[in-house]
Amino acid sequence: MKSQLAIYDMDRTITRRATYTPFLIHAALQLAPWRLILLPFVILSMLAYVMKLIERGRLKEINYTLLIGRGIAPEKLDPVIQSFADRQIANNIMPGARAAIAADRAAGRRLVMATASYRLYAAAIAERLGFNDVIATETQYDGKGRIIARIDGANCYGDHKLAMIQAWLQREGLEREAVHIRFYSDHISDSVVHHWSDEPVAANAHDRLVRLAEAEGWEVHDWSREAAEPPR
């Protein structure tokens, strides 16, 4: 019998709103409020990304440096991470997502979060929601053991997300043919993972993904409006 996996994206799939910029602002408020005067530069970096002058991963590194700094000790950042995760659980999780996660857990599926967000805080949110494993964008450490803005490896987005999920399966000793994978996401950038999975689900999807899901015959859920259980 195949092992059962339920893999979830996080931002706007489980959460109502994206988490990365709110996390940076939360961290700046907790650690160095003066950094909020740098928000115009954050907006400029976002415009540079929209104009395709910088890549998505580089955008993350720039904004992290602006609002958190070049390096911070893990023990200093951890209380910020925990308070941010608590806030997300209290105010930013869709009831339908909670229901789907609970149903997958009750069915004995191994719960995996696969997100482009930094593991720094995504893991804390995943832990509170009862996930077993997290695949996420990793950060590097400098020679003093401080967390720095530079991404370690690839940004867990698009094709890189699929590659990172596949690498995780290999590390866990799971053959693709020996697992049944249900995958939930809201965004067209994850369609490569949808196609690769056994049960693709478009959750809270934007128009492009809804159109693709309808053409492919995938499940479509709007967890902002429904406390839906996942497909059986």
Burial 104-113 (b: 16+ CB within 10 A, else e): bbeeebbbbb
- pLDDT score recorded for residue 29: 97
Q: Mean of the pLDDT values across residues 202-220?
A: 96
Residue 80, Cβ neighbours under 10 Å: how many? 20
Q: Is the pLDDT of residue 231 over 70?
A: no
Query: How does residue 207 score in pLDDT terms, banded at 50, 70 and 90?
Result: very high
Average pLDDT over residues 44-67: 95
Q: Is the pLDDT of residue 179 over 90?
A: yes
What pLDDT was estimated at residue 196?
A: 98
Q: How many helices (H) and strands (E) does the chain have?
A: 9, 8
Task: Please name each of the domains of the chain with its CATH number.
Answer: 3-16+76-221 (3.40.50.1000)
Note the pLDDT of residue 113.
98
pLDDT tens per residue, range 108-117: 999 999 999 9
Closest CA to 228 of 184, 166, 165: 184
pLDDT of residue 232 exceeding 70, the answer is: no
* Average pLDDT, integer, range 36-60: 95
| % pLDDT > 70, the chain | 97
CB 194 within 8 A of CB 218: yes
Q: From start to end of the chain, where are the E strands?
A: 3-8, 71-72, 110-118, 133-141, 147-152, 179-185, 199-203, 219-221
The pLDDT value recorded for residue 225 is 73
Give the pTM.
0.93
The answer to whether residue 226 scores a pLDDT higher than 70 is no
**pLDDT at residue number 124:** 98
Q: Is the pLDDT of residue 230 over 60?
A: no
Mean pLDDT for the chain?
Answer: 95
